Amino acid sequence: MFSFKAILRNDMQIQPAYPTINELQAYPAGKPLEEFKREYGIEDVIKLASNENPLGCSSHVTLAIVQELAQLARYPDSNAHNIKQALSEFHDLPIEYFTIGNGSEELINLITRCFVSSNDAVVFGQYSFIAYPLVTAAQGATKIEVPAKNYGIDLDAMLDAIKTNEEKVKVVFIANPNNPTGTILTKEQIHNFLQKVPPSVLVVLDEAYVDYDTSADAQEFVQQFDNVIVLRTFSKAYGLAGVRIGYAIANPEINDIFNRVRQPFNVNCVAQAAAVAAITDRDFVNTVKTTTADKRKWFYKQFDALGLNYVKSHTNFILVQIDNASDINQKLLEQGIIIRPMDEYGLDNWIRVSMGTEVENIRFIDSLKDLLSA
């Protein structure tokens, strides 16, 4: 694999738009399973590194995808009408409240492209989703990382940061529940925060993991506050990470701006059809939610028995503290077990493990037990 840095020659005359782009590292995505198998020569590999859904997706989705295959020669619906209509019914909001993205990552990117210039600043939490600093730097803007409180997002400190940099701050990103720590802010905390944020600052509530804990679902705030955007994804509880589809809930004026800037065919037809089928199969999502809650309890019990410190999670992954995390990670890899070391997030000696199938979870815990006692 080549490194991004290695291909930037000193004598290159072409420079990126902003010096901040030079400091960027490519997004550290988990290795695809096939690449890992080739590299390590191991066939029996389990991946608990990217917070994917071990139950796959609803059978209704598979059927919808197969039916959509007859349409591949056509461009997709640029307006994504069918999925917006389905979302409008699900959220009980007018259709103009939605923008669909090629994953919610595209929307995170679109937000900074639409609203952040190189003179502006973007606020996000320490130990929060790694895409926020990346999209900020890509715009040449200033990153304001607010220190975490008990591994969660500190809203008071965020308000201070906004106040101190009031002229510059354009966007605040809040992942709730948070990735990679799994913590959650209550609806009341968010409401108090929104009442204090200046109306010129956009607050993005990234709810990629909301389906695992719906207690802080913030969609109602979109109608109460003009400056709120809620982001959702089909990649986690709906099991459609490979298809790439997510959405923004925001007031129609914000969506109008998104529509001017986004690519016209940003969401492919298979993804649109899959999402319509996925949003309507509530039984599937409910099963995902309850089985994940059971797995979380099981993991807590295992970590307690091993005497490991972990952060209580409201998601489908858990952050666990382990001495020599990078050694343990390497040894797990050699056994065909992929988890996510957290040093890239500044959490040395922590790992993040996504909940897999029962068999995968037992295999991970058994290996960890052996490695810790070795």
Ligand X SMILES: Cc1ncc(COP(=O)(O)O)c(C=O)c1O
Given 103, 133, 182, 341, the residue binding ligand X (CB under 6 A): 103
Given 36, 129, 221, 299, the residue binding ligand X (CB under 6 A): 129
Question: ∠ CA(308), CA(312), CA(314), 5° rounding?
Answer: 145
Q: CB 361 → ligand X: shortest distance, Å?
A: 19
Q: Is 22 exposed, middle or buried (0-12, 13-18, 19+ CB in 10 A)?
A: exposed
Question: Is the CB of 261 or the CB of 359 nearer to ligand X?
Answer: 261
* Separation in Å, CA 366 to CA 178, 330, 332: 27, 16, 11
Question: Is the CB of 173 or the CB of 367 nearer to ligand X?
Answer: 173
* Separation in Å, CA 152 to CA 185, 271, 344: 8, 32, 17
Q: How far apart are CA 256 and CA 251, in angstroms?
A: 9
Given 179, 255, 313, 316, the residue binding ligand X (CB under 6 A): 179
Cα 340 to the center of its chain, rounded Å: 14
Q: CB 331 → ligand X: shortest distance, Å?
A: 25
Interface stretch with ligand X, choices 100-108, 148-156, 192-200, 336-344 (CB under 6 A): 100-108
Q: Could you tell me which residues are beta bridge partners of residue 353?
A: 318
Q: Contact between 206 and ligand X (CB under 6 A)? A: yes
- Per the CB < 8 A criterion, the answer to whether 37 and 45 are in contact is yes
Q: CB 241 → ligand X: shortest distance, Å?
A: 5
Residue 57, sorted as left (phi over 0), alpha (psi -120 to 50) or beta, turns out to be beta
Q: Contact between 235 and ligand X (CB under 6 A)? A: yes
Residues binding ligand X: what is the number (CB under 6 A)? 13
- Per the CB < 8 A criterion, the answer to whether 204 and 171 are in contact is yes
* Separation in Å, CA 106 to CA 79, 117, 261, 264, 319: 16, 17, 12, 13, 26
| Contact pattern from residue 42 through residue 61 relative to ligand X, giving x for each residue in contact according to CB under 6 A and a dash for the rest | ---------x----------
Question: Is the CB of 123 or the CB of 175 nearer to ligand X?
Answer: 175
Residue whose beta carbon is closest to ligand X: 103
Interface stretch with ligand X, choices 101-109, 153-161, 193-201, 216-224 (CB under 6 A): 101-109
Q: Could you tell me which residues are beta bridge partners of residue 49?
A: none
- Per CB under 6 A, contacts with ligand X among 60-89 are none
The length of the chain, given as a count of residues? 374
Question: Is the CB of 236 or the CB of 302 nearer to ligand X?
Answer: 236
Q: CB 106 → ligand X: shortest distance, Å?
A: 7
Q: Contact between 176 and ligand X (CB under 6 A)? A: no
Query: H/E element holding 125?
Result: strand 121-125
Interface stretch with ligand X, choices 103-111, 140-148, 281-289, 337-345 (CB under 6 A): 103-111
Question: Is the CB of 129 or the CB of 350 nearer to ligand X?
Answer: 129
* Separation in Å, CA 115 to CA 29, 63, 137, 171, 199: 26, 39, 14, 8, 14
Given 141, 175, 190, 279, the residue binding ligand X (CB under 6 A): 175
- Per CB under 6 A, contacts with ligand X among 239-258 are 241, 246
Residues that bind ligand X (CB under 6 A): 51, 103-105, 129, 175, 179, 206, 208, 233, 235, 241, 246
